[in-house]
């Protein structure tokens, strides 16, 4: 049976995502004013709610915001998410500059960690889609060792968006969490395209977090994070990021123009 066909099962209860306040618009991207504590409670409550709704979380940094501002189709796609959270100091500073502050930065990798803690606590299933075959296998093993009461599987991230075999493999596992580390925009495109093929699954794009969990990439030391310089640490450690970081000054200029219009 081809399991990649959308589910037709009706929800046992209606799920309404918790919204702590009005969304904050940065270059047309509507951020939810949530804290890490909010997200942990959201995820725990969702995991215990009987619903077929799939929870889609977008973690957006300045590069993603600027790309969305230039790409209407991608902007429309991420606006279909249940939550868009500020994964970047630049986003938080932009919100403050625009007079609509966000409470704090909510790093995607830390949201993923909260999910893994809940998977451990509740005995849930986690699927990793991303990175190379060797890297994702290491990440699966490391996560399984650290959170032994959860069940973890993975697949490399070089599959095409239309590869139904990968979707069938993931569906057969019946995951409670799917973390897609394909980089933007592909990871969000994959989630949106296949979101209705699952039931009661939290789905989130996690960029390079799978590499971090595998141990092949080190996260910035705590002091760099406290100084809000994690982005600079990543550039210094991976020169390939310099090319991608060209969006950061463009993001700053676009935010200044948005402020002038206001």
pLDDT digits 0-9 by tens, 5-63: 444 444 555 788 999 999 999 999 999 999 999 999 999 999 999 999 999 999 999 99
Q: What mean pLDDT is predicted for residues 157-179?
A: 97
Q: Are 33 and 24 within 8 A, CB to CB?
A: yes
SS3 of residue 56 by DSSP: strand
Residue 19: closest CA among 28, 32, 6, 7: 32
Residue 9 pLDDT: 43
> What are the angstrom distances between the C-alpha of 216 and each of 79, 97, 206, 208, 222?
32, 36, 16, 10, 18
Tell me the C-alpha distance between 228 and 153, whole Å.
33
pTM: 0.88
Residue 223 pLDDT: 74
Residue 46: closest CA among 124, 101, 99: 124
pLDDT digits 0-9 by tens, 52-94: 999 999 999 999 999 999 999 999 999 999 999 999 899 999 9
Structure-block tokens of residue 131: 């990175």
SS3 of residue 83 by DSSP: strand
pLDDT tier, 3 (very low <50, low <70, confident <90, very high otherwise): very low
């Amino acid at each position: 049976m081809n399991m990649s066909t959308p589910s037709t099962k009706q929800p046992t209860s209606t799920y309404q995502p918790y919204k702590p306040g009005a969304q904050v618009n940065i270059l047309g991207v509507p951020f939810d004013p949530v804290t890490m504590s909010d997200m942990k409670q959201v995820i725990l409550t969702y995991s215990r709610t009987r619903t077929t709704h799939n929870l889609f979380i977008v973690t957006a940094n300045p590069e993603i915001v600027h790309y969305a501002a230039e790409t209407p189709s991608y902007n429309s796609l991420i606006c279909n998410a249940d939550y868009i959270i500020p994964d970047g100091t630049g986003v938080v500073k932009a919100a403050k500059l625009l007079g609509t502050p966000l409470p704090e930065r909510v790093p995607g990798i830390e949201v993923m960690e909260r999910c893994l803690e809940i998977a451990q606590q509740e005995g849930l299933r986690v699927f990793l889609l991303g990175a190379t075959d060797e890297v994702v296998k290491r990440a699966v093993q490391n996560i399984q060792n650290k959170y032994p009461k959860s069940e973890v599987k993975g697949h490399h991230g070089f599959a095409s968006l239309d590869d139904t075999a990968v979707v069938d493999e993931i569906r057969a596992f019946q995951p409670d969490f799917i973390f897609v580390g394909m980089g933007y925009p592909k990871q969000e495109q994959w989630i949106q395209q296949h979101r209705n093929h699952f039931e009661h699954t939290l789905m989130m794009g996690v960029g390079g977090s799978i590499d971090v969990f595998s141990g092949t990439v080190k996260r910035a030391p705590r002091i760099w994070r406290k100084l809000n310089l994690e982005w600079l640490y990543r550039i210094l450690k991976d020169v390939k990021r310099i090319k991608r970081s060209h969006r950061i000054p463009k993001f700053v200029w676009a935010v200044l123009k948005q402020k002038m219009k206001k």
